[in-house]
């Protein structure tokens, strides 16, 4: 399980940045299959025990890197209406998560989660927060609103299912059909 940093900007933060950077650089250079804790530690300038102490194992480290990359950098687009806000968000979500990089990040997050919802729970929280932002905007515009859990059940969950199991592409038409059911 990933331990939370105690001090922002201190040694712990510097180690996290160095290790995350090492993972990303080495993934490009040697591929995901070539990643190993000693190799990452050497690149990051830390000891392997530092990585094991902080992340536990390689799967947890990869999940932590994935969660950081999946973390939103901005609020969802504000198009001026609930329906178009939600559609824009869902289409972007499906496109990003179904990309090669998105699929890989999702798998890393799920591989480390097991019975502990830590990494997966944080990703779910990001999606819920975006939906809450869209919902709050709609309330401010005095529009009819949705329940976040229902959007997750009816729209987001089927998209993620199809991405993970690869039985169909969650293209724009499919996403719009899910939104129509909502």
8-state DSSP, 33: G
Contact present, 89 and 77 (Cβ < 8 Å): yes
- pLDDT one-digit tens code per residue, 35-66: 999 999 999 999 999 999 999 889 889 988 98
Query: Token pair of 145, please?
Result: 């609103």
| Spatial separation of the C-alpha atoms in residues 159 and 134, rounded to whole Å | 19
Residue 127, Cβ neighbours under 10 Å: how many? 19
Give the chain's domains with CATH numbers.
Answer: 11-56 (1.10.10.60), 72-181 (1.10.357.10)
Give the pLDDT of residue 113: 61
Which pLDDT score, from 0 to 100, does residue 157 have? 97
Distance, in Å, from the CA atom of 18 to the CA atom of 47, rounded to the nearest integer, reads: 12
What pLDDT is recorded for position 1? 40
Note whether 53 and 19 are within 8 A (CB).
no
What's residue 49's pLDDT?
A: 92
Residue 71, pLDDT score = 86
* Residue among 54, 71, 63 at smallest CA distance from 14: 54
pLDDT in tens, 11-37: 788 999 999 999 999 988 998 889 999
Residue 155 three-state SS? helix
Say if residue 110's pLDDT is above 70: yes
Assigned token pair, 179: 């939104």
Q: Which of 59-68, 138-147, 152-161 has the lowest mean pLDDT?
A: 59-68
DSSP 90-110: HHHHHHHHHSHHHHHHHHHHH
pLDDT of residue 116: 64
Tokens standing for 135?
Answer: 């919902």
- Note the helical H segments in the chain: 11-30, 37-44, 48-55, 58-70, 82-98, 100-113, 118-140, 148-151, 157-165, 172-181
Distance from C-alpha of 62 to C-alpha of 77, rounded to nearest angstrom: 29
pLDDT of residue 115: 58
pTM for the model: 0.79
């Amino acid at each position: 399980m990933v331990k939370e940093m105690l001090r922002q900007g201190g040694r712990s933060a510097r180690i996290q940045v160095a290790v995350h950077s090492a993972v990303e650089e080495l993934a490009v250079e040697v591929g995901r299959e070539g990643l190993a804790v000693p190799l990452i530690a050497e690149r990051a300038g830390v000891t392997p025990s530092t990585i094991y102490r902080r992340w536990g194992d390689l799967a947890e480290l990869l999940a932590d890197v994935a969660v950081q990359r999946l973390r939103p950098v901005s609020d969802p687009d504000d198009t001026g209406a609930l329906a178009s806000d939600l559609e824009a968000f869902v289409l972007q979500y499906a496109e990003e998560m179904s990309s090669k990089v998105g699929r890989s990040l999702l798998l890393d997050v799920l591989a480390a989660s097991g019975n502990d919802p830590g990494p997966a729970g944080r990703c779910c929280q990001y999606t819920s927060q975006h939906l809450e932002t869209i919902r709050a905007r709609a309330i401010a515009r005095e529009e009819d609103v949705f329940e976040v859990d229902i959007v997750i059940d009816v729209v987001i969950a089927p998209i993620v299912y199809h991405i993970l199991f690869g039985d169909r592409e969650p293209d724009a038409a499919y996403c719009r059909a899910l939104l129509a059911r909502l």
